[in-house]
Structures are given as C-alpha cells and as structure tokens.
Amino acid sequence: MGGHHKKNLRAEKAKVKLKGAKLPKGLNVTKTDFKVRKIEIREQLRESLVNEKGQRQLNLKETLSRLKHHSSKYKSEALRNVRDSIKSGQAEHLIGHLGELLQGIASGSLDIEHATRLESFKALDSLMEALSPEAVAPFFHILSSYLRCAMTHIQPAIQEDSLLMLDVLLERVPPKLLAEKSSYIIIGNFIDMISRSRHDQEKSNRLLTLNLGQGKESTIKWRTKVMLRLEQILKTLKEDDSHVTHNSSLNKLIHYDDHKPQYYNVLSPFRVDIRELYAICQEKNVKGKSLQLQRYVEQLMPLIQDNWLEVRPQQQQQQQKDQQQHHHQLLLSMDAAASLSVLVNLMTQLWSLIHQYESTNNTQELSKWLVENYSKKFLNNFLENDASNFPYHQMPEVKKKSGKSSLIGGEYCYQQNLSLIYLTCKFLPQPNQAKLFKNLINYLHITLSHLKTLNPFEQLQVVEALRCILLDLDFDLLDLVPQELKDLLSFSMEAYEQQGFTTREGVANRMLSLLSEVIQQERLYRKFGGNEKFVNFLNYLPQLLMKPSINEGTLRAMATLSRQMNSTFLNALIVSAPQILQNLEKLQIAGGGQIKYENQTRILNFFYYAKQLEGNGDQLRTILAEVQTKNQIDQELMSYFQSLITYN
C-alpha cells in the first residue's frame, strides 16, 4: 500500500508545470456593474406592507390566516402587524374584511398566553380608534360575545385580563352603542366575578367569593377593580338615558317653502302622556326597566355592604378607639379607602339611574322601595347610625423611592366623605336624627373653610352635598336643626362672595344656581331668615350683571326678587345701574334660548320695579340723562329704557 503512494508522488513531480503571470490586485474582484429589474406582481404589492425597519410585513390574507393559528407566536406577530398597519395609516384595505378581522383580534382575549392577550387588546384599541361607531355597530356582537366569554372563563388570569378589554370598549365605544347592545348582560357577569349564588334560604341571594387572579394582588384589590368597571358601566347607562331624554325635548325645526303646504301649531300642542300604565293608574307595580333596576339593586346593595364590612376598620384596642373618638375620625388603610371610594360611587350611580327613570315616568316607587329596604343598613354600616366618628381619614403611607403618593382621594378622603353626605340625604328623605345631621353639617363647615385647597371635582361634590342639605331636605331639616342649617347657608354665601369656588368645570356657576333656587322659593327664603340673612348676597347680585356672562338661572332669581319688590336687591340695582347699562350690549346669557334683544329687555325690566320704590324714580331719570349724554347703549334699548321709567 505504501508503494502506490510513492508512485503517485513521483508522477506528480514529473508533470510539466506551466508558469504564468498573476492578475494585479485591483483586478481580482467580482464585477457588479450589471443591471437587474425587479419582477413585481401588482396584487401582492397592494396588500404587502414594509415597516420602518425595512422588514416585510404580512399581507392581509396571511394576517387573517395567522390570527387563527394555534401558535401564540404567530398570533402575536399578526396582531402587531395589524397594529402597525393601522398606525401607519394604511388601514383602508382592512374595511372589507372587518368582521373576520374583529373575530381574529377578539379571539386573542381567550389565549392562554398573557403576552398574546395584551397584544390583542392593543390591536383592538388601535382598530377601534381608527373606525367610526357606525362601522363597528354591525360587528359589536362579536366583541361583546368574546368579552363575556373572557369574563366567565375558568382561568382566573383570563378573567382578570378581560377587564383590560372592557377598558378599551368603554373608552372607544359610544355609551349609546354599549348600553343598547350588552350593558345589562355585562353587569350580570360583573356580579358573577366577585360573588356566587347561595342555595340556602337566606334573604341575600349572593355571597362574596375569593378570587386572587394570578396571585399578584389581594382579594380586596381584585374586587375594587371589578367594582370600578361596574361603576363605569352604570355610568354608560345613565349617559344613554340622558341622551334620549335630551333628544326628546328638542324643538322641531321647520323650513319654510312656498311650494309646499305648511302646518303650524296655533295653540299649545296636545301632550301625550308617555308614562307606563301602572304610573297613570297610580298603581305600585313596577315593570320593564324599573324591574331590571330593582333586580340590580337587590343584587348589588348586599354585595356593597358585605364588601365594606370586610375592609372597614375592625374593633380596635380600647385605647386606640378612645383616641379616634377624641379626634372624631376613622382611619382607613389604603385598600379600604380605595374600596370605599368605588362603593360610594356605585351607590351614587344607582341613585342617579333611579332618579332618571322616575323623572321620565313620573313615579317614585323605586326610590321609596330603596329607602324602605336599605336605609337602616346603610346608616349602620357606613355611618354607625349617628356619624359620631365621621369623617373618614386615610392613614398616611410611607413614601416609596419614586416619591409617588398612594393616597386615594387624599389623606382627608374628601371624595368619600362628601359622597356619603349625598347618599345620607337620599336614604333619609325625611330626616329625624338631629345628631347625625349636626355631625354632617359640621363636616361641611370644616370643608368650606378649606375650600381653596380642594380640586374642582371635590368642589363639585361640595356643591352637590350643599344642594341636598339646603334644598332637597328644605323644611324637614330646617325644623330639625334650624340654627346649624342657617349658619351653613351664611358660610356658603360668604365663601361664594369671597370667590372661594373655582370657575373651572362650572363650579361657581353651580353654586350660584343653588343659591338662586333657594331665593326663588319664597317660603324657603323666608324660613331661612329672608332679607336679614341674605342681605350681603342680595347686594352682591347686581354686580353679576357687570360681568361678561351670566347664568339663566341667576336671571330668573333676579326677576323673582324684582316681582317680590325686594328693596335690598332693587336698591343695590339702582346703585350699579350706570355700569349695568354700559355692559348691557356685551353681556352674554349662558343657557338662555331667547334672542339677544329679548334677554336685554328682561334685564331692563328690573328697573321698572326699582322705580316704584320711594325716591328711585328721580334717581333713574338722572341716570337716563347721563347715559343719553354719553351715548353708551343702543338707541332701541335707550327708547325701551326711557319708556319703562316714564310709564306709570
């Protein structure tokens, strides 16, 4: 074997070797100066997309196919592709396959992988933002079906993430569409997420359940998250009902056409009674929507109370309890404060829905039923009957490294405490507990003294609580705690005159409307003390006519005072007359449906009553001569003002 090897070596050496020159270094390269042309298929070019990184995205058919794939990786890639396409503004080609696309995206809410579910919600949010409500409406049943499947899923993690899908729908879907399609069904699923039916003979038919989700949060936090979304769903029902009520009261607009017959109402139109039959016949039967509301109250109120009983401050050591009673406050943990905030908001939404339904159908059966069945439990559980330890405060938490505060509603829990005052007035429409309301009124005094430290939302709640205390309970509460209520009214007027209420979110206007409504009710006005109690406010009222705008309700209150020949108001009106006349043409009436000239004459009519007071006639004629000399107002208004003064 070795000999063959040596023979081969000798044969190789014996070969003739040809010698040649090597190529220069620069020429030993590949030529690239040839031309190529891409082959493009127009159909694929239209559907295929390229992202910013130069990577080819999936076309529409591939995307729809991968949305149905069993692999979570393929699904996530397809969902990201849909989201990127929408954000880049290339979503026109998706419209024709919207049903199949929504089905594929919504199915991601049931995926076993958490990351895929999050991608599904992000893609759904982008798609819903790009589409109009009219385009989504025919396919909304697909989204609601998958949402209900996720909310009732056997896997706790999928149940927990279903709240994220609901957040997308609450943000992107109009309340009317959500209320019409599936609000009532979703509410039932919410109740099932935190409770179960009991099979014994107890009166309450639901029991709170333990649901820790993925084990990352406590049961209290889980229930708070569910209750928060439930409150938002109830808010959509309220917004939908208010939209219908508002639209039903709009005036009919008729365009004149001389080629067509025109029909106009000479007299007031015949008003059809649209109440339900039981309301017309003054029967106590509740049907339809009222029965649905009653069923929700029956299910939710026991759950709300049971939830609060679990998180409220437990019986403490005697020393700590005595210390809290000395400071007249109850300390709440962060979880308890968050839970209380959601629970009182839920009860407020239920009351709003009931009042909205009753005002539409002219009945009070539901509110009477709610007061009869739940008022005592509410007072016992939330206020300990007499509110001796009211208000609630939150225990200050140790700040984390980030420095962010975790206080829910602030350390003083303004939102929770003010909501409890509002609910107390609703549950006790005929107050009979003097100590309870003295404590509540005392808290309102303290809150008004710190009014400028409150944000606009908290100030709105202060106004709502004052409306319930001063106006809704009126004579009953005045007979129960007269001095405390009169002092509260004086303090409220003083806070308004000193501009303690902010103009943001219409807070100051709402407070002014409240005081104006008190003035318009003559019996209530006199019961509070009449001119003696309102003297500073009555002197302040004419100054509002010198501002750029004024509320319609305030004008009505001024008209009432003028017709009542209120000397305090009319004398203050005479003092400010030159400035009022000068500002008349610039003044805007907020909420006034009349034309500008009619609103201006309404204001001038106040001076007709003012001239009837002794000595004011000559003073008004002097003011008229001065205004005519300076030519400060329109000639037509000047003539009207002159006729008012000279008319006997």
DSSP string, 413-438: THHHHHHHHHHHHHH-SS---HHHHH
Claim to verify: residue 482 and residue 597 sit in the same structural domain: no
Claim to verify: residue 619 and residue 648 sit in the same structural domain: yes
Claim to verify: residue 599 and residue 618 sit in the same structural domain: yes
Claim to verify: residue 524 and residue 579 sit in the same structural domain: no
Q: Is residue 6 part of a domain?
A: no
Out of 148, 182, 197, pick the residue that ends a domain. 197
Minimum mean pLDDT range among 63-72, 137-146, 485-494, 565-574: 63-72
CATH number (domain holding residue 116): 1.25.10.10
Residue 245, pLDDT score: 47
Claim to verify: residue 353 and residue 455 sit in the same structural domain: no
Minimum mean pLDDT range among 27-41, 154-168, 531-545, 559-573: 27-41
Give the residue among 566, 574, 572 at the shortest CA–CA distance from 532.
Answer: 566
As to burial, measured by CB atoms within 10 angstroms (0-12 exposed, 13-18 middle, 19+ buried), residue 254 is exposed
Band of residue 286 on the pLDDT scale cut at 50, 70, 90: very low
- Which span out of 24-33, 284-293, 374-383 was modeled with the highest average pLDDT? 374-383
- β-partners of residue 205 are none
Claim to verify: residue 420 and residue 435 sit in the same structural domain: no
Band of residue 105 on the pLDDT scale cut at 50, 70, 90: very high
User: Do residues 94 and 76 touch, judged by C-beta distance below 8 A?
Assistant: no
Residue 465, pLDDT score: 94
Minimum mean pLDDT range among 64-68, 461-465, 516-520: 64-68
- Which span out of 87-96, 116-125, 126-135, 542-551 was modeled with the highest average pLDDT? 116-125
pTM of the predicted protein model: 0.76
As to burial, measured by CB atoms within 10 angstroms (0-12 exposed, 13-18 middle, 19+ buried), residue 162 is buried
Determine what percent of the chain is predicted with pLDDT higher than 90.
17
Band of residue 502 on the pLDDT scale cut at 50, 70, 90: confident
Residue 124, pLDDT score: 92
Claim to verify: residue 508 and residue 582 sit in the same structural domain: no
Claim to verify: residue 59 and residue 129 sit in the same structural domain: yes
Mean pLDDT estimate for the chain: 79
Q: Is residue 91 part of a domain?
A: yes
Q: Which domain holds residue 521?
A: 430-529
- Average confidence (pLDDT) over 77-105: 82
Out of 499, 529, 559, pick the residue that ends a domain. 529
Residue 50, pLDDT score: 46
Query: What are residue 49's phi and psi, to 5 degrees?
Result: -125, 155
* Ramachandran category for residue 198: left, alpha or beta (phi over 0 → left; psi -120 to 50 → alpha): beta
User: How many structural domains compose the chain?
Assistant: 4
Out of 197, 221, 239, pick the residue that ends a domain. 197
Residue 246, pLDDT score: 45
Minimum mean pLDDT range among 92-96, 221-225, 618-622: 92-96
User: Do residues 543 and 497 touch, judged by C-beta distance below 8 A?
Assistant: no
